[in-house]
Structure 1
Amino acid sequence: MKNKRETGFEYEEIAKKFLEEKNLSFITSNYYTRYGEVDLIFFEKLSETLVFVEVKYRKKSIYGTAVETVDRKKQEKILLSSQIYIIENEWNGNIRYDIIGITGNKSENNINWIKNAF
């Protein structure tokens, strides 16, 4: 049986493939700072935008959707971590924060992509 972290990595890979199919260019995954983590970072060439993506998975949405679990506290951690990435990479262009919510099992993933989520 997989632990929570292994399951998270598995669904981040599903989200990565999904976004690559939407013509976003993958930069890195699991960008860690002392403030938190950004699951995925992409570049969207069409809009010349650096995209920070939070991936959440829920087997069932009885107690709320995967997207709803990204609360204010989690958003603040992502914002702080992304600012470090921006400074380290001297990025001064467009940025965006997206959420990928995945519900269901491996055979029937329901992917909800929220652009400009926060």
Structure 2
Amino acid sequence: MYNNTRTMGTWYERKAADYLKKQGLFILRYNYRCRSGEIDLIARDGRYLVFVEVKYRNDNSSGYALDAVNPAKQRKICKVARYFLTVEYRCMDVPCRFDVVGIDDDEVHWIKNAFEYI
């Protein structure tokens, strides 16, 4: 079905975005990239700017999708978020949240405020 992992990742990121839209979030950016790394989705949820990491697993042999967002990954996401707020958004005084969407097989798990700004 997928010719490479990037194509598969994009498909699941779109699936997560569709899920979040149905929950009332407004997607601002897909796959925001800078020198420091990447954030899968950037969205608005009321007054919050939400940085979303999306993880997919087709089976549990290597753990659950949500387990893949470890402290090192969290630090990287926060670094990219800081860059986005400074350079693209031009404002650091914005209420932010870091969410994780894990997709195991076809089951979507959304963790709001999954980790704090590091």
- Structure 2, unaligned runs of 5 or more: none
The corresponding residue for 1:116 is: 113
The corresponding residue for 1:68 is: 67
- Offset from partner CA, 1:35-78 (integer Å, 9 cap, x none): 11000000012xx0000000000001233110001111111111
AA aligned opposite 2:14: E
Q: For 1:28, what is the secondary structure of its paired residue? A: strand
Moved more, 54-63 or 7-16: 54-63
Is 1:50 the counterpart of 2:67? The answer is no
AA aligned opposite 1:11: Y
- Offset from partner CA, 1:66-117 (integer Å, 9 cap, x none): 000111111111100000111121232210000000011xxxx100101111
TM-score (norm 2): 0.91
AA aligned opposite 2:45: E
Displaced runs of 4+ in structure 1, greater than 4 A? none
AA aligned opposite 1:90: R
AA aligned opposite 1:13: R
| % identity of equivalent residues | 38
Is 1:8 the counterpart of 2:9? The answer is yes
Distance 1:90 1:98 in 2: 22
AA aligned opposite 1:19: L
Distance 1:61 1:113 in 2: 17
Distance 1:72 1:36 in 2: 15
AA aligned opposite 1:66: A
Displacement of 1:2 in angstroms is 2.1
TM-score (norm 1): 0.91
Aligned length: 112
| RMSD (Å), alpha carbons | 1.0
Displacement of 1:13 in angstroms is 0.2
Q: For 2:61, what is the secondary structure of its paired residue? A: coil
